[in-house]
Structure formats: structure tokens, C-alpha cells
């Protein structure tokens, strides 16, 4: 298959799994909020990028290359590790500055440590093995700028049905609210950072997984408000700007 057909093939699988599941879950949650089908449909929809990865690899038979990009962490430079873990510093310092201490979110505390572990397997791992491991990797062979643009747009559109599922994190933010605006900006900036991170780290998929997990874990763990959101977005934007000016000219399709 040509690169464009591979990209289309992967996206068709992902959205063909995610959208029907999440749209169905959204309708059920609106008319029957206690339906036992909502949570399974939520999980199944979230598995779209991972299922797409498996089917894509079966079709293309590129298991060896994918495995190499998943396991050869010795090839990762120190700077890439630091970028991958930067959300921990950004979020905790912002929180400490705003609250003069550390305040664990009450909802996060009530869910316990297992919830924090579960966040790794519902989001970072199933998503990034596909988003950066497959889609961005293929898009980058066409153009780094195109890869950044289309990956960011795809990631944003993929999340949209969640805003209609009653009980989901995104539904709690509210569609077209201030929190929705912050969520959207974060999606854009963090996706752009992970694009640079993936290539700076020699295409090792563990890096976007770590970055994504750090964002989700510490973002849900620590109490936030509008001011802290503005500060964290500003810091992420500064990080992206640094990566763009220091690596923008040197990064090429490979």
C-alpha cells in the first residue's frame, strides 16, 4: 500500500470502532444514564487506536520495525527523557505556586491508587501505540509539518464524542465552555510537543506514552483552577516554542 492508503486504512479502522461505540454510549447516557452498556462502550471506543494498530500491523507485516521502536529505549537521548517527564514538573510547580502546597483532588483521592495505574492503560498505552507509533510515523514520511497538523486535528476530532457521554471527564468540562477551550488548546500544544518528542527520541514510542501518562496522571491528581490552567498552557507553549526553534530546522522526514 502507498503511504496515503495506509493512513486512510488506519484511520478508517480507528474511527470505525470509536465513533459508533461512543455515539451509542452518548445516546444511551442521555436517555438511560444507568445503562450497563455505557461503560463497556466507552472502553471499547477508547481501544480504537490500539485495535487499529494490531490490524494495521497484521496487514502491513511491519511487526519487526514496530517492535524496534517500542523496545530499543537505549537509543533515547537524555534530553528526550526529560521532555517526556516535563509535565510532572510543569503541573506540580504550577500547582504549588497557586496553592502554596499540594492538594490532591478529592475525586482522585476517593478512587485510590489503582485508578492512577489504570490511567496508564486507558489512554497513554492504547492511544500512543497507534497515534504516534503508527499514524504520525506514516504522516511524517510525507512531511513533518503535515504530520503535526493532521495528527493534532485527528486527535482533537477523535475526542469530540466524549463531550456527549454523560459521566465522562469531557462531559464534565462542558461543550464550548471555558474548560472546553483549555482542553482544546492543551490537545493542540501537547500533540505538537509529542510530535517533536517522538522524532527527537529516535521514534521510540515509550516517550509519547510517558508524556501522555504524566499529563493525565498529574492533571487529574492535583487540584486545578482557571489560573493554573492558563499557567500550565503557557508553560507547555514555551516548551513547544523551545523545541520548534532548537529542532524545527533539523527534523526531517525519515
Give the model's pLDDT for residue 41: 96
103: its cell numbers: 492538594
Contact 216, 123 (CB under 8 A): yes
Whether pTM > 0.85 for this model: the answer is yes
pLDDT in tens, 229-242: 999 999 999 999 99
Give the model's pLDDT for residue 1: 82
Give the model's pLDDT for residue 214: 96
Which of 26, 45, 20 is closest to 167 using CA atoms? 26
Give the model's pLDDT for residue 249: 73
What residue ranges of the chain have pLDDT lower than 70? 252-254
Give the model's pLDDT for residue 112: 78
Give the model's pLDDT for residue 13: 97
73: its cell numbers: 529505549
Give the model's pLDDT for residue 252: 59
Give the model's pLDDT for residue 231: 94
Please list the alpha-helical segments (H only) found in the chain: 3-31, 38-46, 48-60, 63-71, 78-99, 106-111, 113-121, 124-130, 137-140, 144-159, 169-173, 178-200, 206-221, 226-247
Give the model's pLDDT for residue 100: 78
Amino acid at each position: 500500500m502507498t503511504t496515503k492508503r495506509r493512513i486512510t486504512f488506519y484511520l478508517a479502522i480507528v474511527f470505525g470502532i470509536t465513533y459508533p461505540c461512543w455515539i451509542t454510549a452518548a445516546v444511551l447516557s442521555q436517555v438511560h444514564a444507568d445503562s450497563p452498556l455505557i461503560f463497556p462502550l466507552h472502553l471499547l471506543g477508547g481501544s480504537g487506536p490500539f485495535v487499529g494498530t494490531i490490524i494495521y500491523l497484521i496487514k502491513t507485516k511491519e511487526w519487526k520495525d514496530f517492535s524496534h521502536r517500542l523496545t530499543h529505549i537505549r537509543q533515547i537521548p537524555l534530553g528526550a527523557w526529560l521532555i517526556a517527564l516535563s509535565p510532572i514538573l510543569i503541573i506540580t510547580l504550577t500547582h504549588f505556586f497557586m496553592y502554596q502546597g499540594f492538594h490532591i483532588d478529592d475525586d482522585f483521592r476517593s478512587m485510590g491508587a489503582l485508578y492512577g495505574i489504570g490511567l496508564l492503560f486507558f489512554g497513554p498505552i492504547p492511544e500512543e501505540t497507534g497515534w504516534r507509533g503508527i499514524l504520525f510515523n506514516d504522516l511524517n514520511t510525507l512531511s513533518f509539518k503535515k504530520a503535526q497538523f493532521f495528527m493534532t486535528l485527528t486527535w482533537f476530532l477523535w475526542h469530540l464524542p466524549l463531550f456527549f457521554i454523560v459521566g465522562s471527564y469531557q462531559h464534565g468540562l462542558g461543550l464550548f465552555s471555558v474548560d472546553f477551550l483549555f482542553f482544546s488548546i492543551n490537545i493542540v500544544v501537547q500533540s505538537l510537543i509529542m510530535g517533536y518528542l517522538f522524532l527527537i527520541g529516535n521514534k521510540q514510542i515509550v516517550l509519547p506514552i510517558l508524556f501522555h501518562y504524566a499529563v493525565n496522571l498529574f492533571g487529574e491528581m492535583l487540584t486545578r483552577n482557571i489560573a493554573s490552567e492558563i499557567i500550565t498552557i503557557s508553560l507547555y507553549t514555551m516548551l513547544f516554542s523551545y523545541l520548534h526553534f532548537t529542532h524545527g530546522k533539523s527534523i526531517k522526514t525519515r
